[in-house]
Amino acid sequence: MRKFVGLFLLLMLLAVPAFAQDYPKAELFGGYSFMRADTGVGTHYNANGWAAGLTGNANDWFGVAGYFSGHYKSGVKIYGFLFGPELSYRKNEKVRPFFHALFGGAHGSGGGGSDNAFAMAYGGGFDVKANDKVAIRVAQFDYVATRFGGVFEHNYAFSAGVVFRFGQ
């Protein structure tokens, strides 16, 4: 019990400098997403849907992000769930560019079947500050690779929406 109390007090002391930070501890994104999807066999299609993300920021330039998405086209559904590091540049008070490398999985269904696959996304975008608690994600561009049925598919996604900032 004494070790637990000591560890708790140490963690509280280490957290004190975090209260004076000028970056949000967490950012919640939600918005529209468009995907140019590759079937892996030479054909492509366009899909519309949604994207959502939650980023926990360790400092003003590094965070850990989780992104989730759903894209739909004529009975075909593709869901993504990706996680990884996100780098931000916060020196400009109005615009925040960011870059990320995300890894995880995807679930696709359509035509009477479904499959799970490895997925990864590399990309970034920028947010424009509306106020201390809200920003507009003007653009997020990602290269999204999936591997359904043992075939790599090279997809491209564009997202835009609203970012809510917490703990600033």
- Burial of residue 2 (CB within 10 Å: 0-12, 13-18, 19+) is exposed
**Contact predicate 126/97, CB 8 Å:** yes
Q: 1: which DSSP letter?
A: -
Amino acid at 97: P
Number of domains comprising the chain: 1
- pTM for the model stands at 0.83
User: Each residue of 99-134: pLDDT tens digit?
Assistant: 999 999 999 998 888 999 999 999 999 999 999 999
The DSSP element (H or E) to which 13 belongs, if any, is helix 2-15
Q: Could you tell me the CATH number of the domain that includes residue 40?
A: 2.40.160.20
Range of the domain at 25: 2-166
Quote the tokens at residue 2: 């004494």
Closest CA to 80 of 42, 112, 123: 123
For the cut 50, the answer to whether the pLDDT of residue 90 exceeds it is yes
**Contact predicate 76/107, CB 8 Å:** no
97 by DSSP, 3-state: which? strand
Amino acid at 33: S
| pLDDT score, position 10 | 54
State the pLDDT confidence band at 13, using cuts at 50, 70 and 90.
Answer: low
| pLDDT score, position 52 | 98
**Contact predicate 6/13, CB 8 Å:** no
